[in-house]
Amino acid sequence: MVSSGPLLPPSSTRKTKMHTSTSLSLVSELERLATALGSADAQSTQISLPSVGERIAKTFGVRIDEVAIMGVSTRWRHLYFLVPEALKNVGYIPLSSTSALAARTARESRPEINNNFAATRHASVFEGVKIGNESAEAIQKIVSAPILYESKVVGIIQISRKGASAKTVGPDFTADDLGKVLALCKPLGKLLQHVTGE
């Protein structure tokens, strides 16, 4: 379900171009990191998924707690949080869950935009967890996409906008935003495969 937002006013054209180039440079950076991990001296390459999450948040103009990266455990048939770190030990999402968007994204390997997420029936357990200094807020808008490695879903990424209401959290996510998320998924797949080893 893709909702189209209002047309951008002329003054925001420069900002959009900047976001696009920032997004492309992040994709290139992740590709370089993934290539380094696959090389002979991979042992010396350090990866910090939380810092990757921070860069993604900055690229999309959202807070750090509005970026989630989850890995797929094929052994235990569930999703587990890699980012944000605060949710790592809180719990996991069964792949069989019928109310979790994350589980559906992983099962169907299909990206989705929902700009009316708070009004949609969904699992909200993790929304109630306070992260750092941020108060727990409802997800109003969300982009959810599968992360693939060699045609297999190894994780999912979600970018959200949290707050009291859909009107106060910022603009709707667009097909362009989804395209930027999908561009990140390819290098993220290589990184997750290295980090999780599944």
Over residues 10-31, mean pLDDT:
61
pTM recorded for the entire structure: 0.83
CA distance 75 to 38: 24
Q: What is the pLDDT of residues 134-193, one digit of tens each?
A: 667 899 999 999 999 999 999 999 999 999 999 999 999 999 999 999 999 999 999 998
Positive or negative torsion for Cα 158, 164, 165, 170: negative
Q: What is the CB-side half-sphere exposure of residue 57 using CA atoms within 13 A?
A: 18
Here the tokens at position 78 are: 């569930």
Q: Where are the domains of the chain?
A: 11-196
| CATH domain 11-196 topology | Beta-Lactamase (3.30.450)
Average model confidence (pLDDT) across the chain: 83
**Secondary structure element (H or E) that encloses residue 161, with its range:** strand 152-162
Distances (CA, A) of 39 to 32, 43, 55, 71, 73: 11, 9, 24, 23, 25
Q: What is the pLDDT of residues 29-77, one digit of tens each?
A: 999 888 887 765 655 566 789 999 999 999 999 999 999 999 999 999 9
